[in-house]
Amino acid sequence: MKTIIITGASSGIGEQTTLLFASRGWQVAATMRNPKNLTMFAGNDNIRAYQLDVTDKGSIAPCFERIIGDFGRVDALVNNAGVYATDPLEVTSDGMIDSIVDTNIAGVVRATRAIIPHFRQNGAGVIVNVSSIAGRATMPFQSVYHTSKWAVEGDRAGGCQNPALPRDGRGSGGRLPGRIP
């Protein structure tokens, strides 16, 4: 049985991805920032929930260590947790800029960094960053969000050139969702 970690599993794409992998026989470590949501997958034997805020720098590695301890091995990580905002840049608050950068960029980089030693030890592992069409194209009033998703695209491209990472010969690819209600 394979194991996958999914960040931001409490709603939307993360929630649906969690349910999809579980339905296909994977063990899912569904991570979520709000402890109130930790019981949302109760009753599904393939899903175990863990509290994780990807902006909480010190908590990612311990959370992943706990997951690895619980399952023995992790095969894939989905960096899904993200914050979306649409506003003219001049009225976008510092708090919102910090939140988008810290979650959508630094959160992805931190989680990736935390799982690399385990994947290297296994000689295998898959990392999926949930990017967006907003990481390739631009639209009005999404300046900071665009910045974050273009950065995620750079992280993917840069990560694939990292000779320290295990490779499966398939290189990198992208699936870039458009608007999902």
Ligand X SMILES: NC(=O)c1ccc[n+]([C@@H]2O[C@H](COP(=O)([O-])OP(=O)(O)OC[C@H]3O[C@@H](n4cnc5c(N)ncnc54)[C@H](OP(=O)(O)O)[C@@H]3O)[C@@H](O)[C@H]2O)c1
Which residues lie near ligand X (CB under 6 A)? 7-8, 10-14, 33-34, 53-55, 80-84, 103, 107, 130, 132, 177, 179-180
The yes-or-no answer on residue 131 being catalytic is: yes
- CB neighbourhood size of 65 (10 A): 12
Rounded Cα gap, residues 116 and 25, in angstroms: 24
- CB neighbourhood size of 159 (10 A): 16
Closest contact distance (angstroms) between CB of 128 and ligand X is: 11
Q: Which of 10, 132, 143, 149 is catalytic?
A: 149
> What are the phi and psi torsion angles at 142 (to 5°)?
-130, 30
Q: Which of 10, 131, 143, 148 is catalytic?
A: 131
Distance of CA 174 to the CA centre of its chain: 14
The yes-or-no answer on residue 23 being catalytic is: no
Closest contact distance (angstroms) between CB of 82 and ligand X is: 2
Measured from the CB atom, is 37 or 172 closer to ligand X? 37
| Helix, strand, coil percent values for the chain (each to nearest 5) | 45, 15, 40
Closest contact distance (angstroms) between CB of 178 and ligand X is: 6
Measured from the CB atom, is 12 or 174 closer to ligand X? 12
Residue with tokens 């999404």: 142
The yes-or-no answer on residue 57 being catalytic is: no
Catalytic residues: 131, 145, 149
